[in-house]
């Protein structure tokens, strides 16, 4: 596959999944507050953003298989940085929480944004170096 085609497919897949994720998070939050707290419907709707997270990860996976080897190398490094940031934050702050009952608990929900924000920032920096 041509690199331009792979890029286009990746960005369109990622854009669709991201918009779906944002919309479903806002929707689930709204419905959780207004209508469905604790119900079966509430649990089902709160699972919907997870579907879009899976679609975003699938988009990255497919891009890894469709992109050329240089892009694949950069992407893998960026994902490793995302993973390191997530492990450092969760492990570090996890111990702080474990030994200090008075401190607030960070919801596990933030694992995904931490990973993807780091992944995105490192990818953008690597892309800038190549332009």
Partner 1 sequence: MENNLRALRAEKGWSQAKLGDQLDISRQSVNAIETGRYDPSLPLAFKIARLFGLRIEDIFTDDVH
Q: Which residues bind partner 1 (CB under 8 A)?
A: 2-4, 7, 68-71, 73-74, 127, 129-131
Question: In whole angstroms, how close is the CB of 12 to partner 1 at the nearest point?
Answer: 17
The stretches of 1-131 forming alpha helices (DSSP H) are 3-34, 40-66, 69-99, 111-130
Question: In whole angstroms, how close is the CB of 3 to partner 1 at the nearest point?
Answer: 4
Comparing CB distances to partner 1, the nearer of 2 and 34 is 2
Comparing CB distances to partner 1, the nearer of 108 and 131 is 131
Question: In whole angstroms, how close is the CB of 88 to partner 1 at the nearest point?
Answer: 26
Q: Contact at 8 Å (CB) between 123 and 76?
A: no
Comparing CB distances to partner 1, the nearer of 60 and 114 is 60
Comparing CB distances to partner 1, the nearer of 8 and 19 is 8
List b or e across 66-83, with b for residues whose CB sees 16 or more CB atoms inside 10 angstroms: bbeeebeebbeebbebbe
Question: In whole angstroms, how close is the CB of 130 to partner 1 at the nearest point?
Answer: 4
Q: Contact at 8 Å (CB) between 56 and 18?
A: yes
Q: Contact at 8 Å (CB) between 112 and 80?
A: no
């Amino acid at each position: 596959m041509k690199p331009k085609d792979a890029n286009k497919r990746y960005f369109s897949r990622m854009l669709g999944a991201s918009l779906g994720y944002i919309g479903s998070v806002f929707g689930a939050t709204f419905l959780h507050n207004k209508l469905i707290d604790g119900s079966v419907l509430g649990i089902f709707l709160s699972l919907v953003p997870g579907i879009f997270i899976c679609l975003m990860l699938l988009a990255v996976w497919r891009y890894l298989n469709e992109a050329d080897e240089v892009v694949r190398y950069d992407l893998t490094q960026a994902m490793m940085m995302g993973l390191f940031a997530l492990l450092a934050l969760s492990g570090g702050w996890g111990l702080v929480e474990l030994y200090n009952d008075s401190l607030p608990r960070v919801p596990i929900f933030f694992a995904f944004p931490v990973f993807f924000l780091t992944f995105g920032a490192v990818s953008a920096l690597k892309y800038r170096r190549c332009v």
